[in-house]
Amino acid sequence: MPFIRPATPADATTFSEVAQAAKAHWGYPQQWLHVWRPQLTISAAQITQDCYHALQLGDQVIGLVGICFAHGQANLVDCWILPAYMGKGWGRLLIRAAAQSVQARGLTHVLIESDPYARGFYEHLGATLLGWVDRPVLGVDRKLPLLSLDLSKFEKESNQ
């Protein structure tokens, strides 16, 4: 059974590999994945500065979640699971770990700029659509959903 643990700077390379594999799973063109590589590379400094957790199965990291706290709000900056482990309910465990960190800081919502393929996952957890963010790539217009997850509703959903 997988478990959640706080991340350490030593997780940076593995986290980057998980993020890149998960993003590639959605079938994006290789050129786009190349452009996104810096965004999918998680540094030791990022892990130290922000709030990251690892999802571990045995000695293998199979997922991660990261929250950035800035300007009095919590932003989900990373939530990735290796493709072989998607759809098993472990993403909810990652979000629950992130939610506990957010609530410990006295905040009640998490902002999520979601990949379009992940939107349904977040909405299933209770997130609501706030609007759209323009994120063109290589001249192609892309709009990403901007969601808000009310943690009081998430906890109620999670406990059912």
Q: Which parts of 12-129 fold into alpha helices (H)?
A: 12-24, 30-36, 44-49, 90-104, 119-124
* CA pair distance 87, 85, nearest whole angstrom: 7
> Looking at residue 120, which CATH number applies to its domain?
3.40.630.30
Residue pair 102/151 in contact by the 8 Å Cβ criterion = yes
Residue 33 token pair: 């994945």
pLDDT of residue 113: 97
Query: In angstroms, what is the C-alpha Rg of the chain?
Result: 15
In which residue are the tokens 């919590």 written?
74
**How many domains would you assign to the chain?**
1
Q: Are the CB atoms for 4 and 47 separated by under 8 Å?
A: no
Query: Domain residues for 41?
Result: 3-158
pTM as predicted = 0.92
pLDDT averaged per 10 residues, the chain (length 160): 96 98 96 96 98 97 98 97 95 96 96 96 96 95 97 67
